């Protein structure tokens, strides 16, 4: 009986432990997967970023195919291999080699040397000459399918035009309450949609046959070559399109450091006062410290424009730091008060007995023990000031912070999801670096203050 009980307890322990680790792993994946995909997309070219499904890993090389254009006057066709679709996707059709090189770099982040392109064109001409008969035979097979596909597309366009007309008529008939006309129009739309579905299905089959013939043509009408990809091209492009990015980055660092200094000096002293002194209304005052955080940052920023302008701090790092500190001081006060309360006052008294002044006891005994809490407060202040955009847009005009520059760039780069991702990763890096610098103190806080 005792043995069964022991086994049962062991199994329960194993099951509960396994479930705990599954939950922890699930939470970690929920947090890390979006971050991973953001970083991955920031390394992808335009062609990769808009392939669906998006690859789990970015490629480091691109495989190109060079062919003659559909008509001789158009020059050459450059295509790149799509790993998601499993086919070569056309990139550029041109006689001008410089145009082909620029388009390839823009879409794939690969720089194709012009001399290499010339050599590949010479190789292509030799291959085309050797396989002339096979090429003509396959193209003659493809011609009827191309003509049929063109006819089908024409019929599909005409039917779509008819469907749009009947949809307009249907709306008019419904407004007029003409039930018979509505029924007749619906019947006509039904027959048109059925015909449209049949034509699309037939066009799909013809397209598949053309694709198969193209697959046979590619080896004898093209040359393949591989070029490495500049995986940091999106970051380079991001800094090129943002003229004020470097000065804005410096300004953001200044604002973050000033915010930390203001919030730690005022909030830290307030936290020490709440922890060490007793006075009437103390609890009410502690609660009121957080009152300002209940208001949106934008509502605070609007009146601060006038105040900062009168003080001469508008559109300056110090002005932004003062506004950011309003919200951060309350959080710093609460964190540091909790830390100081965990440090016994007897330690300060003992230091004073051994000859230290009150300030000396604070700086030599209490402050070193409170460093984890101060580091946590600094981290919150840095992240809060670094990522703030709404207040910075209102409180700056000619000297924007880095998040404002990123925001303006992303708004102007609609559709460029990889450039957006590069901007997001660039913006996140300083916060990550700062957190890594103070990680030792943060970990100490998680483990509690050791006295």
Output the DSSP codes for 180-214.
HHHHHHHHHHHHHHHHHHHHHHHHHHHHHHHHHHH
**To the nearest whole percent, how much of the chain has pLDDT over 70?**
94
Averaged pLDDT of the chain: 82
**Residue range 260-269: average pLDDT?**
89
Given a cut of 60, whether residue 423 has pLDDT beyond it is yes
Look at residue 450 in the predicted model and tell me its pLDDT: 45
Residues shown for the chain:
451
Q: Which of 66, 60, 67 is nearest to 109 (CA)?
A: 60
How far are the Cα atoms of 151, 157, 158, 338, 358 from residue 162, in angstroms, in the given order?
Answer: 17, 9, 6, 73, 90
**8 Å CB contact between 384 and 327:** yes
User: Which residue in this structure is represented by tokens 């440090």?
Assistant: 343
More confident residue, 118 or 303: 118
Given a cut of 80, whether residue 167 has pLDDT beyond it is yes
Look at residue 446 in the predicted model and tell me its pLDDT: 55
**Residue range 111-137: average pLDDT?**
88
Look at residue 7 in the predicted model and tell me its pLDDT: 63
Q: Report which listed range, 72-76, 128-132, 223-227, is most confident.
A: 223-227
pTM for this entry: 0.67
Q: Which of 324, 329, 326 is nearest to 271 (CA)?
A: 329
**To the nearest whole percent, how much of the chain has pLDDT over 90?**
4
**Residue range 233-243: average pLDDT?**
81
Look at residue 5 in the predicted model and tell me its pLDDT: 63
Task: Determine which of 4-13, 133-142, 196-205 has the lowest per-residue pLDDT on average.
Answer: 4-13
Look at residue 443 in the predicted model and tell me its pLDDT: 64
- Say how far apart CA 108 and CA 100 lie, in whole Å: 12
Given a cut of 50, whether residue 448 has pLDDT beyond it is no
Q: For the chain, what are the domain ranges?
A: 2-42, 61-228, 237-446
**8 Å CB contact between 64 and 257:** no
Look at residue 449 in the predicted model and tell me its pLDDT: 46
- Say how far apart CA 9 and CA 12 lie, in whole Å: 5
**8 Å CB contact between 182 and 142:** no
Name the burial class of residue 31, with classes exposed (0-12), middle (13-18) and buried (19+) by CB atoms within 10 angstroms of its CB. exposed
CATH of range 237-446; options 2.60.40.420, 1.10.3720.10, 3.40.462.10, 1.10.10.60: 1.10.3720.10
CA-angle at 274, arms to 286 and 289, nearest 5°: 25
Is residue 258 very low, low, confident or very high in pLDDT (cuts 50, 70, 90)?
very high
User: What are the backbone angles phi and psi of residue 65, rounded to the nearest 5°?
Assistant: -130, 130
**Residue range 218-245: average pLDDT?**
84
Chain segment 78-96, per-residue pLDDT in tens:
989 888 877 788 888 888 8
Given a cut of 60, whether residue 451 has pLDDT beyond it is no
Look at residue 358 in the predicted model and tell me its pLDDT: 80
**8 Å CB contact between 422 and 235:** yes
Given a cut of 70, whether residue 171 has pLDDT beyond it is yes
| List of residues 6+ apart from 421 with CB closer than 8 A | 38, 39, 41, 42, 44, 49, 234
Given a cut of 80, whether residue 243 has pLDDT beyond it is no
């Amino acid at each position: 009986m005792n043995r069964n009980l022991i086994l049962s307890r062991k199994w329960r322990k194993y099951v509960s432990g396994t479930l705990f680790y599954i939950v922890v792993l699930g939470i970690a994946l929920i947090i890390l997967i979006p971050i991973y995909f953001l970083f991955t997309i920031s390394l992808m070219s335009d062609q990769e970023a808009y392939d669906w499904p998006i690859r789990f890993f970015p490629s480091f090389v691109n495989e190109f195919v060079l062919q003659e254009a559909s008509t001789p006057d158009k020059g050459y066709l450059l295509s790149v291999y799509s790993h998601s679709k499993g086919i070569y996707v056309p990139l550029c059709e041109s006689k001008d080699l410089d145009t082909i090189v620029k388009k390839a770099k823009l879409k794939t982040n690969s720089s194709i040397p012009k001399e290499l392109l010339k050599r590949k064109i010479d190789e292509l001409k030799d291959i085309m000459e050797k396989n002339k008969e096979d090429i003509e035979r396959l193209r003659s097979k493809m011609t009827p399918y191309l003509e049929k596909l063109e006819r089908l597309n024409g019929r599909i366009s005409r039917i779509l035009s008819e469907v749009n007309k009947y949809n307009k008529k249907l709306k008019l008939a419904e407004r007029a309450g003409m039930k018979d006309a509505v029924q007749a129009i619906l019947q006509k739309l039904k027959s048109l949609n059925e015909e449209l579905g049949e034509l699309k299905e037939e066009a799909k089959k013809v397209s598949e046959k053309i694709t198969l013939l193209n697959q046979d043509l590619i080896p004898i009408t093209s040359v393949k070559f591989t070029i490495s990809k500049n995986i940091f091209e999106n970051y380079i492009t991001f800094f090129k399109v943002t003229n004020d990015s470097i000065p804005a980055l410096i300004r953001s660092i200044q604002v973050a450091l000033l915010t930390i200094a203001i919030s730690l000096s005022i909030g830290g002293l307030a936290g020490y006062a709440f922890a060490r002194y007793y006075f009437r209304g103390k609890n009410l005052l502690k609660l009121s410290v957080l009152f300002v955080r209940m208001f949106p940052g934008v509502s605070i920023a609007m009146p601060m424009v006038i105040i900062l302008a009168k003080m001469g701090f508008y559109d300056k790092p110090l002005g932004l730091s003062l506004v950011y500190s309003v919200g951060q001081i309350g959080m710093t006060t609460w964190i540091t008060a909790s830390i100081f309360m965990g440090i016994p006052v007897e330690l300060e008294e003992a230091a004073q007995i051994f000859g230290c002044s009150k300030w000396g006891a604070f700086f030599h005994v209490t402050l070193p023990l409170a460093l984890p809490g101060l580091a946590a407060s600094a981290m919150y202040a840095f992240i809060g000031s670094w990522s703030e955009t709404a207040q910075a847009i209102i409180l700056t005009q000619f000297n924007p912070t880095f998040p404002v520059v990123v925001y303006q760039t992303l708004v102007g780069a609609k559709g460029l999801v990889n450039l957006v991702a590069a901007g997001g990763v660039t913006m996140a890096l300083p916060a990550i670096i700062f957190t890594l610098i103070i990680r030792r103190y943060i970990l100490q806080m998680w483990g509690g203050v050791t006295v």
